[in-house]
Amino acid sequence: MPQSITWVVVERKLPGARTRLISKHASQKDAEAECDRRNNGRAERPFSACILLEPVAQRMGGHQAPTINLVVGG
């Protein structure tokens, strides 16, 4: 099944803490650049670039895609 790919930057301040979505990107390069910029100069690296795979059938069918409700900065 074809998939749509979204790259995201997330922040996780403490182990076990809730992960917070920072930004969404169309490419790995953009997500990693954002992540590196945010982590620059920090001893700890709370920002990570992650990939989300979304089956195209979900986007086209009767179900909403899992990424539809992702709110940046929420």
State pLDDT tens for residues 56-65: 555 555 555 5
The pLDDT value recorded for residue 29 is: 96
The structure's pTM equals 0.67
Answer yes or no: are the C-beta atoms of 25 and 6 closer than 8 Å: yes
Q: Convert the pLDDT of each residue in 30-52 to its tens digit.
A: 999 999 999 999 998 999 999 98
At position 70, the amino acid (one-letter code) is L
The pLDDT value recorded for residue 1 is: 43
Whole-number percent of the chain with pLDDT over 90: 42
Query: Which of 45, 51, 47, 43 minimizes the C-alpha distance to 25?
Result: 51
- Gap between the Cα atoms of 16 and 18, Å rounded: 7
CA 8, 40, 38, 10 dihedral sign is: positive
